[in-house]
Structure 1
Amino acid sequence: MSSTSHLLNDQTAEDYRRWVTEGVERVADKLARTETPLSGITPAELAPVVDAIDLDQPLGDPSAALDELERVYLRDAVYFHHPRYLGHLNCPVVIPAVLAEAVLSSVNSSLDTWDQSYGGTLIERRLIDWTAARIGLGDTADGVFTSGGTQSNLHAMLLARDEACRAVREASPAPLRKADILPRLRVLASECGHFSIAKSAALLGLGYEAVIPVPCDENRRMRTDALAAELDRCRDEGLVVMAVSATAGTTDFGSIDPLPRIAELCERAGTWLHVDAAYGCGLLVSNRRRHLLDGIERADSVTVDYHKSFYQPVSSSAVLVRDRSTLRHATYHADYLNPVRAAENLIPNQVDKSIQTTRRFDALKLWLTLRVMGADGVGELFDDVVDLAADAWKLLNDDPRFEVVTEPQLSTLVFRYAPAGDVSPALCDRANLRAREALAASGEAVVAGTVVDGRHHLKFTLLNPRTTLDDIAHVLDLLADHAQRYLSEQAGPERGHARAS
C-alpha cells in the first residue's frame, strides 16, 4: 500500500470514515464499560509494555494498531468522566466539544493567519468578544486563544512588563535601555496563586525573585492590607510594580481574591492588574454566582481556561486585555507570513496578537458547545459542582476523622485525616500520603494532594456533576481505612522498639 493512501483527501474519505468510526466505537465501548477511574497500574509495570514496541515496524492495519493502543493506553488511561475521579482540575468533557475536536483535527486549520483559516479566525474573534463582554472589559478589549493558563499568564506578564518599561521610559529625563529597567520590576502575587506567575517572571528575564508573595488570610484570599503595604514599600525603595496578579479560583482552595479592593489599590498605584481566572471563569456563565467575580471587569488582563470549568477538552484557554493596543507587545511582522501591509489592509491575522505561530482551531470547541448547549447549560454544570462542594464541606466538617482547611468558594476541598489520640504530625503526614497512594493503587478513586502550612493534605477537585455526596462519603471511608491501616502497621514496630528500649 502506498504511503499516499494514508493522506486524508477526496480519494481516502471513505477510509477516514471507516477508521475514525472504528476508533470512536472502541472509545465509546470503553467509556461505557469503565467501572473505576483508573487501573492503578504503576510506571514500572506499564513502561516495559510501551518500550517493547518497535516503532520502526508498522502494523499497517488500523484495527491492529487500535488493538495495541488498548494495551498501552486505553486500558490504563485515567478516565475523568468517572464520578469518583476527584483529583486535579480535569473536567469531564461535553459531547459538542468532542465533535468539534473531530472537525478541527480533520480540516487542520491553523489560526495564525487569515489565509490559513478564514472562518476560523472570525469564530475565534467572536468568542473573544463574547468572553470579554461576559467579563465586562469594555469596547476596547481584545485577546487570543492559548494552549492553557500557563501560557495565558505568561502572555499577560509579557504585556505588563513591556507596558511598565514604556511608562518608566516616558517618565525618565534620560534615555533608558530595557536592560536597565528590568532589575527594578516586581510582580506582587498571592502566596496561594499559581506557580506559572513566578515561572513567567523567570522566562521574561526578571528571575523568580522578582515575584513577591502577598500573604493570604485564613480563607486563603490575598490580604489587601498586605498588598497595600507591599505597593508602598516597592515605591519607597524605587522598585516598579509591573503587575499585581490576583486569583479568581486558586488551584488548591478555589479561593477568590477580593477583586474590587485589589483593583482600587492598583488604580491608585497606576499598576497593571492581572486576574488569573483559569479555574473561576465558569462563574462567567453562572446564573447564581456571577457576583463572586465582581471587580474582574476592572482588570487589565484576564486568564480564562475553558478546559476547566467550561467542560472543554484540553486545550482551550484565552488571555484577554482591556486595551487591545497593549497586544502590540507580542507583535512581530514576518514578510512571509504577516507583513505590515496585511495589517494596514486590515487583514485579521491572529498571529499579530499571539506568542504562538501555528495554532489549533481550539475555539471551535467552545463555539459548538455554545451553539448546542448555550451558556446557561454550561453554567448549570458548574453551579452543580459548586453546590456539591458546599455539601461535601458540611460532610467533612462534621466528620471527626478529618480536618478541613477552609470552606470552599468554588469546588475544591482541602482536608487531612486527623486520627484521635497521640499521633505525631509527621506520622499523620505519612498516613495521609499513604492513604492517597493506596487509593490510587486500588483504582477505586482518585484524589489529589497538596501541602498546607508544611503539612500534607488531601484534596478533592469536584468538576463532575455526576459525582454524588454518596460517592464522596464512600471515598472518605476508603481514605480513612487506608490511613488507619497504615497507622496500625506502624504501631507494631513502634511498640517493639519501645520494649527493646
Structure 2
Amino acid sequence: MSTLIDANTVISVSHLSTQFVEENSQKEPSQKEKWQKYFIQTGEGGSDEFLSMLNHTNRTLAAVFEKVQSPYSGVKPELIEKAIQSVNLDSEPSDLRHVIDRTTELVVKNSIFVQHPNCIAHLHTPPLLSSIAAEAMIAALNQSMDSWDQASSATYVEQKVIDWVCEKYQLGMCSDGVFTSGGTQSNLMGLLLARDWIADKISQHSIQKMGLPEYSNKLRIICSKKSHFTVQKSASLLGLGERSVCCVETHSNGTIDINSLEETLGELKAEGLIPFVLVGTAGTTDHGAIDDLSTLSSIAQAEGMWFHVDAAYGGALILSQDKRRLTGIEHADSLSVDFHKLFYQTVSCGAILIKDKSNFGYLRHHADYLNREDDELPNLVDKSIATTRRFDALKVFMTMQNVGAEQLGQMYDHLLIQAKQVATLIQNNDRFELLAEPSLSTVLFRSKSTTVKELDDLNKTVRLEALTRGIAVLGETIVNHNVALKLTILNPCLNMSDFESLLKQIDNLVIEQEKIRVKQ
C-alpha cells in the first residue's frame, strides 16, 4: 500500500526540519562555550583562559614560597588526611581559580618543601627553574612518547638527549636508550634485557614468545648487600624470584668486596647455577658508595655476564671533576640514570642506557594501530616497556641549554666538599657521633646522650618529632646495626650556617627528649 504526501505536507516537514537545525545550531555554540573554558583552544584568543589560569597558579605558588618558614607545616598528619578525605569529588563544578585557592590551602601549604634548607632526608632535589618551565610546556602540549604521530618534534628531542648522555658515558657508537620514570623502572629494564639476553645466548630461547626457559630456576643475579632494593623487586617481577638475587658482602665504606664476589661466583658455578648478570652501584642510597666499576666490568666480561650499573645517585658525577670515580662505567651493558636526582630535574625523569641498541629487540612488539613494521618515522615505544610516556626529555634538553654541563658539575663538586665539611662539624660536636665518612653527599650520624641509654629509640623519636612538627625532614637508616640519622645534601645554595642551625635544632629536640624521659 503506498502513501501519498501532498506538496503542502512536504513544505511543512521541510520547514520544521530547518527550524530544528536552526534552533540546535543556536544551542550548540553555548554548549561548546561551556566546555571550551576547560581546555586550551587553538587560534586567536584560544589560550586566554589558559594564560589567566597559569598566571593565577604562579602568583598563588609564589605567595606561598615567599612565606615558607619550615620544610613542613607541622599540621598533624591525621588532620590533613581528614581534610583531604572530606573533599567532595562529586560536587558541582567550581570556578578553577577557587579550586586553585582551596588546593593551595589544603595541599600546597601542607607539602614537603624541598627548597627549604632543613629538607634534607632523601635523594629529592629542589628542581631547576628550567625544569619547571619545561613542565609547563610538557603539560600544555601533552605529547605521548610512544609514536611519532603523537610526539613529532618531541621524538627527536628525546633521541637528542639520549645520544648526548650516551656520549657522556662513552658507551660507544651502538649505544641507545629511552626515558623512564626513574631508577626502579630503569633497573627493571636493565635486568629484563639481561634475562632475555642470557636465554637467547644459552639456547636461542625467546622469553618474549615462549616464557621462561626450563633452566630459569638456575639463573642468578649478583649484586652487593648495599645495592638498591629494586634489584630484588625486579627479580620478583621478572619471574625469577628474590631467591635468584645473591648479595655479596661489602667493605665498611659500602663498596662491594671483590674477593667475596669472586668466591660467590665460584660457589654458584660449582653448584651448577648460572650467574648471568652482575650489578654494580655508582652511589648507594645511604653511603653514596661507588663500586670498583672497572674491576666489576672485567669480571663480568671474563665470566660472560651482563654488566648492569645502577648510577641513579652517582651518575651525575660524569659532569664533575671527580668523574674518574666512574671509570669502568663505559663498559656497562645497561646503565640506570636518574635526572631527577643530581641533574636537578622535576620528578619523574630517568633513563635506561644500553651499549648495544640491538638488545632493545627483546622488547619490540608491533601493534597495527601504533607502530607498524613498515613505519619509516621513529616510534620510541619500540624500546620501552611503557606505551604512553611523558615528554620528560624536554626538561634535560632545556636545562643543558640554560644551566649547562659545566655549572651542574660545579654544583656537584661543591656538594662533595660541603658534605665533608658537615661531617667535620659533626665530629667536632660531642653531642653527635659520625657513623661513616661521606663518599658522595650523604652524612650518616646519630645524636648522643649522657642520660638516655636507648640511642636507637632516641634517634628514631627525634627524626619523627622533627618531621611532624615541621622542624626538619631528616633521613633514617641503619649503619653497623645502629639507627642513624641521614643528611642527604643536594641543595647547592646552602651555607655552613644552615647546617649549624640544623644541628642546633636537632640537639634541642634531644634535650627535650632527655627531660621527658627523666620524668618518666
Q: Scaled by the length of structure 2, what TM-score is found?
A: 0.90
- Provide the C-alpha distance between the structure 2 equivalents of 1:77 and 1:59, rounded to a whole number of angstroms: 25
The alignment status of 1:332 with 2:365, answered yes or no, reads yes
Larger radius of gyration: 2
Where does residue 75 of structure 1 map in the other structure?
109
Where does residue 238 of structure 2 map in the other structure?
204
Deviation per CA, 1:214-240, whole angstroms, max 9, x where unpaired? 111011111111111111111111111
- Quote how far apart the aligned CAs of 1:7 are: 1.8
- Quote how far apart the aligned CAs of 1:119 are: 1.2
After TM superposition, list the pairs within 5 Å mapping 1:203-352 onto structure 2: 203-286=237-320, 288-342=321-375, 345=376, 347-352=377-382
- Quote how far apart the aligned CAs of 1:348 are: 1.2
- Provide the C-alpha distance between the structure 2 equivalents of 1:94 and 1:428, rounded to a whole number of angstroms: 38
- Quote how far apart the aligned CAs of 1:92 are: 0.7
- Quote how far apart the aligned CAs of 1:394 are: 1.2
- Quote how far apart the aligned CAs of 1:458 are: 0.5
Which of 495, 498, 517 lines up with 1:468 in the alignment? 495
For the Cα contact (< 8 Å) 2:157–2:394, is it kept in 1? yes
For the Cα contact (< 8 Å) 1:307–1:315, is it kept in 2? yes
- Quote how far apart the aligned CAs of 1:134 are: 0.6
Question: Comparing 433-442 with 244-253, which one deviates more in the overlay?
Answer: 433-442
- Quote how far apart the aligned CAs of 1:151 are: 0.3
Where does residue 392 of structure 2 map in the other structure?
362
The alignment status of 1:159 with 2:186, answered yes or no, reads no
Question: Comparing 234-243 with 354-363, which one deviates more in the overlay?
Answer: 234-243
Structure 2: 5+ residue runs without aligned partners? 1-32
For the Cα contact (< 8 Å) 2:71–2:119, is it kept in 1? yes
Where does residue 447 of structure 2 map in the other structure?
417
- Quote how far apart the aligned CAs of 1:8 are: 1.5
Question: Comparing 353-362 with 440-449, which one deviates more in the overlay?
Answer: 440-449
- Provide the C-alpha distance between the structure 2 equivalents of 1:453 and 1:41, rounded to a whole number of angstroms: 34
For the Cα contact (< 8 Å) 2:40–2:46, is it kept in 1? yes
- Provide the C-alpha distance between the structure 2 equivalents of 1:58 and 1:92, rounded to a whole number of angstroms: 36
Where does residue 41 of structure 2 map in the other structure?
9
For the Cα contact (< 8 Å) 1:91–1:464, is it kept in 2? yes
Q: Which runs of at least 4 in structure 1 moved beyond 4 Å after TM superposition?
A: none
The alignment status of 1:37 with 2:64, answered yes or no, reads no
User: Partner letter of residue 162 of structure 1?
Assistant: D
Where does residue 497 of structure 1 map in the other structure?
none
The alignment status of 1:115 with 2:146, answered yes or no, reads no
- Quote how far apart the aligned CAs of 1:266 are: 0.9
The alignment status of 1:458 with 2:485, answered yes or no, reads yes
Which of 381, 405, 408 lines up with 1:375 in the alignment? 405
The alignment status of 1:84 with 2:118, answered yes or no, reads yes
Where does residue 21 of structure 2 map in the other structure?
none
Aligned residues: 482
Deviation per CA, 1:116-143, whole angstroms, max 9, x where unpaired? 1111111111111111111111111001
- Quote how far apart the aligned CAs of 1:76 are: 0.8
Which of 401, 407, 415 lines up with 2:431 in the alignment? 401
- Provide the C-alpha distance between the structure 2 equivalents of 1:167 and 1:232, rounded to a whole number of angstroms: 21
Question: SS of 2:159's equivalent?
Answer: helix
Structure 1: 5+ residue runs without aligned partners? 494-501
Deviation per CA, 1:233-255, whole angstroms, max 9, x where unpaired? 11111111121111101111111
For the Cα contact (< 8 Å) 1:249–1:256, is it kept in 2? yes
For the aligned residue pairs, the C-alpha RMSD in angstroms reads 1.6
- Quote how far apart the aligned CAs of 1:177 are: 7.2
The alignment status of 1:389 with 2:419, answered yes or no, reads yes
Where does residue 433 of structure 1 map in the other structure?
460
- Quote how far apart the aligned CAs of 1:170 are: 5.0
- Provide the C-alpha distance between the structure 2 equivalents of 1:95 and 1:58, rounded to a whole number of angstroms: 35
User: Partner letter of residue 368 of structure 1?
Assistant: M
- Provide the C-alpha distance between the structure 2 equivalents of 1:480 and 1:106, rounded to a whole number of angstroms: 46
For the Cα contact (< 8 Å) 2:37–2:49, is it kept in 1? no
Q: Scaled by the length of structure 1, what TM-score is found?
A: 0.93
Where does residue 496 of structure 1 map in the other structure?
none
User: Partner letter of residue 352 of structure 2?
Assistant: V
- Provide the C-alpha distance between the structure 2 equivalents of 1:323 and 1:212, rounded to a whole number of angstroms: 26
- Provide the C-alpha distance between the structure 2 equivalents of 1:312 and 1:236, rounded to a whole number of angstroms: 46
Deviation per CA, 1:448-486, whole angstroms, max 9, x where unpaired? 111223321100001001222221122222222322332
